[in-house]
């Protein structure tokens, strides 16, 4: 995830510098009094980098959350399978259905996050080009 963000950041920055030349760096220089100018340039540069880091963190958090939920449900199913009686059959069947539903939900979320990643990357690219 972080690799995708860094690669996108590098590619977009390279294309922007190639198209605009040194005017690309005017993006980081807002209209402000001279006293605040250096401070605002630093803030603009940090916000430029944070956009791509936030994309990587969003993808990572969703992946970790889905995997953690699956691990918890699988451990619960394992506990149910160690029980005795009719609860084993009902519990394991119900647990299996729930795990399948969570896997389907995680797959749907993965596609949605990929769409959001691409959409936001295009929005950031449009701002820079």
pTM, full prediction: 0.70
Q: What is the DSSP letter of 32?
A: -
List the domain range (segments joined by +) for residue 57.
2-128
User: What does the pLDDT profile of the chain (129 residues) look like in tens digits?
Assistant: 778 788 888 888 888 888 888 888 888 888 878 888 888 888 988 988 888 888 888 888 888 888 898 888 888 888 777 776 777 777 778 878 888 998 898 889 888 888 888 888 888 888 777
- Count: domains in the chain: 1
- The whole-angstrom separation of Cα 65 and Cα 106 is 9
Would you state the pLDDT for residue 104? 92
């Amino acid at each position: 995830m972080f690799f995708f963000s860094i690669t996108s950041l590098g590619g977009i920055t390279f294309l922007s510098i190639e198209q605009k030349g040194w005017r690309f760096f005017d993006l980081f220089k807002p209209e402000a009094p001279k006293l605040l100018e250096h401070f605002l340039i630093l803030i603009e540069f940090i916000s430029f980098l944070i956009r791509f880091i936030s994309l990587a963190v969003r993808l990572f958090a969703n992946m970790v959350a889905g995997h953690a939920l699956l691990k918890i449900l699988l451990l619960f199913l394992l506990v149910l399978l160690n029980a005795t009686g009719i609860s084993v059959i009902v519990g394991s069947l119900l647990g299996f259905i729930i795990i399948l539903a969570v896997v389907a939900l995680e797959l749907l979320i993965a596609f949605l996050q990929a769409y959001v990643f691409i959409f936001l990357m295009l929005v950031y690219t449009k701002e820079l080009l």
